[in-house]
Structure 1
Amino acid sequence: MTIGDGHDLRSPRFAGDEVLEACYDNERVLQRGDSGSAVRKVQEALIFLGIPVPETGASGNFDEETELAVRSYQEARGLRVDGIVGPETIGSLDEEFVTGTSETLLSTEPKVSDVPTPLFPESPVRTPRASPVGPARAPEVPPVEAPKVPRVSAPEVKIPQAPEVPVAEPPLMATQAVPIDQPQVHVTKPITPPMTQLPHTVDSQGRKFHSAGTWRGSNYSFEAEAGKSIRLELRNLKTTESNIRVKTNTGEIRESVLLPDTLVNLEFSAVSEPIIWRFYFEADKKDSLIEWKLYSNWIPGESK
C-alpha cells in the first residue's frame, strides 16, 4: 500500500486511512469480524447515506448488521453484493463524498452519532459564502484637527439560494407486528417501523420494489398496503439451512427450505387492490436471520 502513488482515496472522510487505502489498492478487505476506526468510518458513511446499522450503529465492529448494511448499499449502487468492503465498494463510497472543496465538506458535514438511529444526508448543494470585506482605513492627515471619516460598511451581498431538486424516494412499507395467534383486525392505516430503504427495481412481472426488512427468531409478522400481485424474496443470512412457513391473511400458505445465502421467491395474489396484506412467518430455528424484500404491482403513492 502506497499513499501518494496517484491511486488514492480522495474524500476527506477516507483519504489517508491506511486500512481503507489498502482496501482501495486491493491489498486487503474489511469483512465480518474486523474492528477498528476504518470499520467505524464505513459505518458512519452508510448511516450518513441513509442506510442504517440498526442495533450497533457506528460501533467500529464489523458484525452481521454491518454486513447487511454493506449488502444493501452494494445492491442500491449496482455493485457486487457480497457484504465485503473491497476496492470497488470503498471506491464507490469515496466518490459519494467527493463534493466541493475539503474545507466545505469538513465544515458542513454533520457529525454522526454512535446511537444506531438512521440519519439522512443534507443536500450536496452548498450555499456560497460571501467574501469578507475589511474595514476602510481613514487617510493620514497632518497633526491638525482631524476630519471625521465616514464609516464604511460592507456592501450587502445577496446569497443565491440553491434550487430545490426533487428526490424520488421508494415508498416505505406500512407495517405493524401482530402475534400469530391474534385474530385478524381491520386496519385502516398500518404503523411503519424502521427498515432498509432501497431504490425502485422492477421484476420480470412488472412488480416494483415495495420494502425490505430483516426477520429474526422463529416467529415474525408484518402488514403491508400493496397490490393484488405480490412476490416475497427471502435470503438466509445464516450458515445453516432453515425450514420456513409463510401464511397470509388471504389464506395462502407457502413452505420452503432456505439454504445458506440462497434466494427463494414466494408468490401471492388477491382479487382486488390495494389490500392490507398480513404475513405470518414461522422458522424451525430460534436464532434464524432472514432478509426479506417485497415486490408488488401497486405501491403506496400510485393512483388506485
Structure 2
Amino acid sequence: MVLFLGLQAFKEAWEMACSFRARTRIVIPAGYNFLVHPVDFGGPCKSKVTLDILGTIVAPEDPAAWKGLNRRKWLYFHGVKHLTLEGGGTVNGMGWLWWAQSCKINKTNPCRNAPTAITFHKCKDLKVKNLKVVCGQKMHIAFTNCLRVLTFRLIVTSPAVSPNTDGIHISASHGVNIKDSVVRTGDDCISIVSNSSRIKIRNIVCGPGHGISIGSLGKSNSSSLVRDVMVDGAFLSNTDNGVRIKTWQGGSGNATNITFQNIFMENVSNPIIIDQYYCDAQMPCANQVWY
C-alpha cells in the first residue's frame, strides 16, 4: 500500500514537534509506504526531535516532481540540534529515472543536478542509526557543515551501474563518527571533502563502488583542508578503488593526519591510490604541472 503523505501534513507535524519544549517523536508507522515529495525540515527546534522511520518513505519516481524546486535535495534537514533519525525502516529515493537521464550513462544527455536523498546541513549533535537508504537519486546521505555526528547500523545500497551515488558524503563537517554499516553503491562508499576534520570510520563493509575516498579536493583552483581522518576496520570487495586521496590540478591545501588501518580487500582494482591528477570531466583536463 502506498499512502500519499501530503507536504502540508508533513510540515505541520514537523513544526509541531519542533515547537514543543519536551522531547518529541514523529513516527512513520511500519507496514506502509509513504510517498513524500521534496520537503524542507528547518530548525532551530525548541526540543530534541526524533524521526522514527518504521515504514518506508518513497520519493516520487518522476523527476518532473522537482519542477520549480531545488533539484539538489529531496529530504532536507537544516539548522537542527539534537536530531535523531532511526527506526529500522527504509528511505527509497527511486533513482532509476534520474540515473537514466545522467550524462554519465548517456553522453548525449546534458549534465544536470540530481537530488541527494537525505541532506543534513548545519546540524549539531546529530544521530542517524538503524536505517536503510536505497536507490538514491544521486548521493544517498550528505552531511554538510555539521558538527558532532554519530551514524551507525546503516545499510546504504544502489546498483553498481548507478552514477554519482555516493553512499555517505561528508563536507565541511567536524566530529563525524560512522561505524557498523554496509554501503554498496555505484560511487564512493564514503567520501570526505572540503575542510572536514575529526572523522572516524569503523567496521564498514563497502562494495561495489569506488571505495573510501578523501576528495576530490581543489576543483576549480579552490582550497581544501582535510585533517584527522581515521579509517579503522573495513572490508572492501569488488570496488574500483580501495582507499584513495584524490586532488585536482590547480587547487591548494592539504590532507593531513590520515590513517587507514585494518583494511581487508577482495577483487579491488586499485587498493591504495593517491591521485593528484584527478579529472572527472567530459573533456580532458589541461596539464598544470610547471617544470
What interval of TM-score do these two structures reach, taking the shorter chain for normalisation? Answer: under 0.3
Q: Which has the larger radius of gyration?
A: 1
Larger strand percent: 2
TM-score normalized by structure 1?
0.26
Higher relative contact order, structure no. (Cα contacts within 8 Å, ≥ 6 residues apart): 1
TM-score normalized by structure 2?
0.27
